[in-house]
Structure 1
């Protein structure tokens, strides 16, 4: 009896820079156990792709051509309720990072980081762990303020 390979981590990339999205897709798909199921560059396309593809991980840029991804993060979470959101950003604003985590993001990686860091973050967030960059303000992006569903208080 043959053992089937594990199901790959299904990743939706949401970023308004086409070159970056394409490079991210190439990077992710070169990794064993990971597959990109869609690309989106704006809120309507992101919501449609999340609903259609049911990703495990949503790799989300905070700044989508002048629109904050936080403006539609609750809708995105509702469109793909089993997905975990991992923020990939060049924005160095610790307050914005804390807000993203409070709104449900499970992790945050700065775009300046090495590809290996992003791959580790995807794996950890997929496993249900929080991934926060020390260099994203060393304030742990407000992780102490995060309320998890079902938490008392």
Structure 2
């Protein structure tokens, strides 16, 4: 049996690659999907498809609609969601994706450093598992298929 895992979280570091490489090296039965990692494409997809928009607010709204469509389709197909809250970047999209996973009853693993414990306490309380690093999330995935 292969599981589909939606990897929610910031797109500026290589945390997804770390998970994918480790899963591949252990030959674990997981396939990964997630948000658009090409930031420029994500921001311009509305105009790419629908044409030039009259201002930046409408441009953002058009792109958001298409990105939300993509997220909805992929998250609905996912068996598991992993949401990474890192130290560096604002985490609005991660919080939205984690909340969506909870509302869809998707099993959710939150990765967050200890210093984000307090601001994420309610979200962590609703998740199935909260860990502090990618290695711990990988251990949870490994345990699932042992």
Asked if Structure 1 and Structure 2 have the same fold, meaning a TM-score greater than 0.5 normalized by the shorter chain, the answer is yes
Name the CA distance, whole Å, in 1 between partners of 2:21 and 2:79.
Answer: 18
Report what 1:67 is aligned to: 91
Report what 1:23 is aligned to: 18
Judge conservation of contact 1:11–1:58 (CA < 8 Å) in 2: yes
What's the CA shift for 1:31? 3.0
Judge conservation of contact 2:8–2:82 (CA < 8 Å) in 1: yes
Report what 2:137 is aligned to: 118
Indicate the structure with greater helix content: 2
Name the CA distance, whole Å, in 2 between partners of 1:39 and 1:22.
Answer: 12
What's the CA shift for 1:90? 2.9
Judge conservation of contact 2:8–2:98 (CA < 8 Å) in 1: no
Name which one, 1 or 2, has greater alpha-carbon Rg: 2
Indicate the structure with greater strand content: 1
Q: 1:85 to 1:50 in 2, by over 3 A?
A: farther
Report what 1:38 is aligned to: 33
Q: 1:37 to 1:72 in 2, by over 3 A?
A: closer
What's the CA shift for 1:84? 0.8
Gaps of 5+ in 1: 1-6, 128-153
Name the CA distance, whole Å, in 1 between partners of 2:6 and 2:107.
Answer: 10
Extract structure 1 runs of 4+ deviating beyond 3 A: 44-47
TM-score (norm. length: structure 1):
0.55
Which has the higher relative contact order, 1 or 2, with Cα contacts under 8 A spaced 6 or more apart?
Answer: 2
Report what 1:10 is aligned to: 4
TM-score (norm. length: structure 2):
0.57
**How many residues are aligned here?**
113
